[in-house]
Amino acid sequence: MSECILTIDVILDEVIEVKGGAGEAAMILFHGTSDCDNFKGTILPGGVDTQKQEKGKERTLSARYILEGKDCDGKDCHIFIENNGLILPGTGPGPIHTKPLIYTDSEALRWMETADIEGTVTGTEKGVLISFYA
């Protein structure tokens, strides 16, 4: 993979599920922190991963959250992330691959809004580690 540009340690708070006849869905509430070279900060309240799966299809995820903290120049900033992916059956404990959409009010990190970024989601003891690569 390319260079790791951002990591986020996510702690899962609550999972709310619905299992219907045509499919199932889950809303996964979370909080977390980032402590890397480009950004240091926390996920603001309201972070949620929406997962859904129609019968006979792959499970999709779409996590949305805003981070607040300091960018690589030490300036206060926010980063909005919408991280989308597929959870393929039989992938085992390996990472889930994602494609993020990023908006930020940081001049130093503005390049992330247009960069070709991919992500991985890997399980941890209390949640997941999200890593973004450019």
Token readout for 32 is: 């977390």
Tell me the residue range of the domain where 115 lies.
Answer: 4-133
Can you give the CATH number for the domain in which 107 is found? 2.40.160.20
Based on the structure, what is the number of domains in the chain? 1
Cα separation values, 9 from 12, 20, 21, 30, Å: 10, 31, 34, 10
Segment 5-43, tens digit of pLDDT = 999 999 999 999 999 999 999 999 999 999 999 999 999
Q: pLDDT higher for 111 or 89?
A: 111
Segment 60-102, tens digit of pLDDT = 999 999 999 999 999 999 999 999 999 876 655 668 999 999 9
